[in-house]
Amino acid sequence: MVDNGRIMKELKELQEATKNVITTSYQQQSNPITLQSPTQQVQASIVGDNLRHWTGTIFGPKDTCFEGGIFKIDIEIPGEYPFKPPKMRFITKIWHPNISSQTGAICLDILKNEWTPALTIRTALISLQALLCAPEPDDPQDAEVARQYKSDKKLYEYTAKMWTENFAKEQTVDDKVKKLMEMGFPEDICKEALERYDNDENLALNFLLGG
């Protein structure tokens, strides 16, 4: 039943899809007007040389609190795969009713009893992306988030955006400078502080406040 052939093929397909994204976004970059992030795509790669341990990547869907975020997902493929579902867990911290804010555990039917062997890692990742678009607070994994979602939607959106901002974004040096400047420090001093602490935002802020 252990069937590496299928896993190999799935991996190859995913990698090809990723390559296509890169080429398309490269083409898009040559035309700055239509420059867009490849939000509809998912990626996955193998961790070390264990064929049954992958890391998936999904991009936060547009017009949601997760837009612009890059979310990493830990994927473990059980021996009974594809007859049993892959085990998935968010590595990147995320504020979402169906995902534990502590452990990253996911509550999604197709990863549990609705799994069928005709599904793939790729379809599961796409479903996860869809879950980000449409949370289901009535079937929560994280009760606290779900409560917030139902009682104070604005606060939920704010928290989710903050979490995306803080945990799911690769920030460029310019972003960090901008952030520090918003706190009222002059631009050149901010740049200097960041440079001094190897672009570590927190240490730079400490330095600015202390100095």
Partner 1 sequence: MQSQHSNNYEDDQDDYGWPDEEDKEQVSYHHQFDNDEKRQLEKVQKLVELLGCSQDQGIAIMRFFKWNMDKLQNEWFSNERRLGIKMGIEFDNDLSKKFPLTMQSLAHNNQGYCMICYGQFSQKNKQDNMSCGHQFCQEDWRSYLSQKVNEGFQAVQSKCPQHLCNMVVPHSYFVKYLQKEDMKTYMKWFCKAYTDDNKNVRWCPYSGCDYCVEYQDYGESDVSCKCGNSFCFKCGSESHRPCDCKQTETWKNKNSAESENITWIMANTKQCPECRKPIEKNQGCNHMTCKMCSYEFCWLCQGKWSEHGQKTGGYYNCNKYEELKSKGDVKISKDETSRQAAKNELDRYMFYFERFNNHDKAEKHARSLRPVIKAKIQLLHEIKKYPPSELDFLDEAINEVIKCRQVLKYTYVYGYYLKNQKELNLFQFLQEDLEKNCDYLHELIEKPLDPYLDTNIVDRSTFYHFKGQLINYYQVTRKVRLSS
**DSSP per-residue codes, the chain:** ---HHHHHHHHHHHHHHHHHHHHHHHHHHHSGGG----TT-EEEEE-TT-TTEEEEEEEPPTTSTTTT-EEEEEEE--TTTTTSPPEEEESS---BTTB-TTT-BB--GGGTTT--TT--HHHHHHHHHHHHHS--TTS-SSHHHHHHHHH-HHHHHHHHHHHHHHHS----HHHHHHHHHHTT--HHHHHHHHHHTTT-HHHHHHHHHH-
> Smallest Cα–Cα separation from 54: which of 126, 125, 110?
125
Applying CB under 8 A, does 85 fall inside the site for partner 1?
A: no
CB-wise, 84 or 178, nearer to partner 1? Answer: 84
With CB under 8 A as the contact rule, the residue among 1, 33, 134, 209 that binds partner 1 is 1
In whole angstroms, how close is the CB of 89 to partner 1 at the nearest point? 22
With CB under 8 A as the contact rule, the residue among 56, 69, 82, 104 that binds partner 1 is 82
User: Among residue numbers 44 through 63, which ones bind partner 1 (CB under 8 A)?
Assistant: none
Per rule CB under 8 A, count of chain residues that contact partner 1: 17
Query: x/- string (CB under 8 A) for partner 1, residues 101-130?
Result: ---------x---x-xxxx---x-------
Applying CB under 8 A, does 187 fall inside the site for partner 1?
A: no
CB-wise, 79 or 186, nearer to partner 1? Answer: 79
Catalytic-residue membership of 107: yes
With CB under 8 A as the contact rule, the residue among 84, 112, 153, 178 that binds partner 1 is 84
CB-wise, 120 or 159, nearer to partner 1? Answer: 120
Residues annotated as catalytic (active site), given as ranges: 107
> Which residues make up the interface to partner 1 (CB under 8 A)?
1, 3, 5-6, 9-10, 80, 82-84, 110, 114, 116-119, 123
